Amino acid sequence: MKIRVLGSGAGGGFPQWNCSCPNCKAVRAGSIKASTRNQSSIAVSSDGERWVLFNASPDVRTQLENFPEIHPKNKVRGTGIEAIVMIDSQIDHATGLLILREGDPLTIYCTDMVKQDLTTGFPIFNILEHFCGVIDHPIPLNGDSFTIPNIDDLEFTALPLKSKAPPYSPHRDDPHEGDNIGVVIRQISTGKTTFYAPGLGAIEAHVEKAMTEADCVMVDGTFWTDDELASVGRPLLARSIGHIPQSGEGGMIEILNSMEKPRKILIHINNTNPILDDNSRQRKILDKSGIEVSYDNMKIEL
């Protein structure tokens, strides 16, 4: 299984265009050891030629230009993208679909709730019908796995997560199963698995089981502390907007430290998070726990 991190940042990327928090200010000045980050997305393949894209961020054009394996080969137009899996309908995970309008119809796998959002409150699917079109496939939420044509040797299983739908969703204040999912990616020939969930608001029993049994977990690295957004004048708690902070009781470090098997990788890292500084005290805490921080263009093989 080959995994490519296309973007490792949270919504807005790093530095965020309108932010002068200590991290953003320092990375612009070059005064900390830190890498800039696009908004989160990964691509997965079994053969290195044909790929499944997970989400399509607003940075997708830059991400694909930095990814030669997915460029057209032996013809004028083409792509190594066979399909796109949407884990939710958030603006920073779906807007990039519009950037991919110049080609053939987009093959998209999503839950019924995500399709509803992307045809009503944020009607990207409707807009794309005037350009390339969309061929959508429902993602089962009953524990059944699904496969994707031309993606040999990989199967995918969705796990419903506790979360809220985006603000523009018709059921924003009425959560439904399928608003947000994690995905277990399994290589059939080897049995190796990766669990991918860039947004985690709670570790339910079925999520804990999937993480514990996985060979690799790529999970929510958004915030270091629950009240981190207060540093930029936003009185929102991480947990209230669907993200488990890394530090503190019940935080992601404590959760991951309880798991022996998987390789542990954080993704979807907010611009305010001190772990973006490679030399920070917080980064050293992660290093001591054997928890990695993903970066753009990171390559993972299982």
Which sequence spans correspond to the domains of the chain? 2-300
Residue with more model confidence, 237 or 84: 84
| CATH class of residue range 2-300 | alpha beta
pLDDT in tens, 86-122: 999 999 999 999 999 998 999 999 999 999 999 999 9
Question: Maximum CA pair distance of the chain?
Answer: 54
pLDDT in tens, 124-176: 999 999 999 999 999 999 999 999 999 999 999 999 998 889 999 999 889 99
Whether 233 shows a pLDDT value over 90: the answer reads no
Amino acid at 150: N
Q: How far is the CA of 94 from the CAs of 23, 125, 139, in angstroms?
A: 26, 10, 16
Q: Provide the 10 A C-beta neighbour count for residue 20.
A: 12
Element containing residue 254 per DSSP (H, E) = helix 252-257
Cα gap 165→162, rounded to integer Å: 10
Residue with more model confidence, 29 or 232: 29
State the Cα angle at 234 between 228 and 236, rounded to 5°: 65
Amino acid at 158: A
